Amino acid sequence: MTTARPSAPRSPARAGILITAVLAGLAMIGPFTIDTVFPGFASMGRDFGATDAAMQQVTSIYLLSFGLMSVLHGPISDTLGRKPVMLTGLGLYVLATIACALSPTLPVLLAARALQGASAGAATIVSRAVIRDMYDGAEAHRLMSQVMMIFSVAPAIAPVAGGLLLAWGPWPLIFWAIAGYGVAIAVLTAVVLPETLPPQDRHPLRIGSVLSGLFEVGRHPGFARLAFATTFVFAAQFVYIVSAPILMVDLLGKGEQDFWMLFVPLISGLVVGAWLSGRMAGRIDASRLVDGAIALSLVAAGLNLTLVTIAPRLPYAVLGPGLIAVSVAIAFPVLQLLMLDLFPHHRGAAASLATFASLMFNALLAGAISPFVTSSLVVLATSSTVFAIVGSGFWIVHRQLQRPAAHT
């Protein structure tokens, strides 16, 4: 099957600083919603009388609902346009976050988190299609890397901010702060971002049209391989993020204000990797760049397992995850663009399904896998290594199958 050539970028100029910042701000919604709450888990658990396993569902339910709704946000934006979908999602996200702050019980909080997740993806997922609408080739790669570099700071800031907010007041203050961020980024999106999908390029607003776009993307074997490669390579790092409360407090014996010890190395790795990815855009073939990132992820995972086996303590317990983060950030922009470029007329649907597999697995990580792989630092590092190996396998298979097609 031949794939249509991607459409030309709608603006040849480089993205302005303000547009780049707004796109990064939209991407930051996910880490702010997840990581800012981590330091408050202990006080929430005391207020609700909940166990550590029950509190993990606060993250899991968010990721699950985010993942389920992620399938629809992109295709709907292919019919209605990008901005209406993003702004509607942001409005619902703010309301859901306020409901989290006012929750009197854990079940009510979980319901509000589900609504949070269902609406948050409208902005974060569709913003990736916006980047590809505006630019292609090396320029799209650079902008995606710049957005990731700025966005990567969020998981480092978020838990530190959550700890500071707890020092000023009870845990609902964290959700009030997140709601304020949602209002601010919604206003900036409305004022700064252009509508990048003109009416003549939109699909009819019919259920059949939405489903056919999803089906076209989902049945493509190359897309599936790229999606699973992204999912598992990212999971090698993300397992540390969702396991942060248990890792920092139970395994390393630290307190609510000490989460920076994990997140600073992780985020430093993401920033460095995204910077390297952007610098190499247009200079190194995209697939070869991913080859190098995949090799680095395997080396980093092996080093991580070795370090925690020999010296299961800080700072050695966080050096490996930081290096894994470098490899993830190098590969991520390229893998995202490779998936979007397979479907130039269904970029929203491709952005949705590109996120769906990863989010579903991340929800499984947070709710089911994390409690079982955090019995020790060695077990956690082993699970990270397995994810890196599986993700690398999908990429290697994809590369092998693509070579004959390229020759043909």
Q: How far apart are CA 325 and CA 322, in angstroms?
A: 5
Torsion of CA 72, 229, 272, 362, to 10 degrees: 50
Rounded to 10°, the helix 137-151/17-27 angle is 60
Q: Which of 157, 398, 404 is nearest to 264 (CA)?
A: 157
Structure tokens at 78: 């292919």
In one letter, which amino acid is 396? I
> What is the number of alpha carbons within 13 Å of residue 73 lying toward its C-beta?
34
**pTM value?**
0.72
Q: How far is CA 405 from the centre of its chain?
A: 30
- For residue 7, what pLDDT is reported? 40
Quickly tell me which residue has 């790092």 as its tokens.
Answer: 237
Q: How far apart are CA 86 and CA 61, in angstroms?
A: 21
Structure tokens at 371: 């409690």
Q: How far is CA 64 from the centre of its chain?
A: 13
Structure tokens at 48: 């609700």
- For residue 150, what pLDDT is reported? 76
Q: How far apart are CA 317 and CA 35, in angstroms?
A: 19
- For residue 210, what pLDDT is reported? 67
Query: Helix, strand, or coil here: 283?
Result: coil
Q: How far is CA 329 from the centre of its chain?
A: 11
Give yes or no for a contact between 381 and 305, defined as CB atoms under 8 angstroms apart.
yes
CB atoms inside a 10 Å sphere around CB 219: 9
Cα distances from 310 to residues 240, 296, 317, 323, 377, in angstroms, run: 19, 21, 10, 18, 11
pLDDT tens for the 408 residues of the chain, in order: 333 333 434 443 444 778 888 888 888 888 788 888 888 888 888 888 887 778 878 888 887 888 788 778 777 887 788 888 889 999 999 999 999 999 999 999 999 999 998 998 888 878 777 877 777 777 778 888 878 777 777 766 787 788 888 888 899 999 999 999 999 999 999 988 888 777 777 766 667 666 777 777 878 888 889 999 999 999 999 899 888 888 888 888 887 667 778 888 988 898 899 889 888 887 888 889 999 999 999 999 999 999 999 988 888 889 999 999 999 999 988 898 888 888 777 777 777 777 777 777 877 887 778 888 888 899 999 999 999 999 999 999 999 887 655 444
In one letter, which amino acid is 345? H
CB atoms inside a 10 Å sphere around CB 222: 16
Q: How far apart are CA 356 and CA 360, in angstroms?
A: 6
Q: What is the DSSP string of 57-103?
A: HHHHHHHHHHHHHHHHHHHHHHHH-HHHHHHHHHHHHHHHHHHHHT-
In one letter, which amino acid is 389? I
- For residue 155, what pLDDT is reported? 67
Q: Which domains does the chain possess?
A: 17-407 (1.20.1250.20)
Q: Which of 213, 208, 130, 162 is nearest to 58 (CA)?
A: 162
- For residue 179, what pLDDT is reported? 95
Residues contacting residue 15 through CB under 8 Å, at least 6 positions apart? 23, 134, 135, 143, 146
Give yes or no for a contact between 158 and 35, defined as CB atoms under 8 angstroms apart.
yes
- For residue 372, what pLDDT is reported? 86
Residues contacting residue 93 through CB under 8 Å, at least 6 positions apart? 29, 116, 119, 120, 122, 123, 182
Q: Give the DSSP letter of residue 259.
A: T
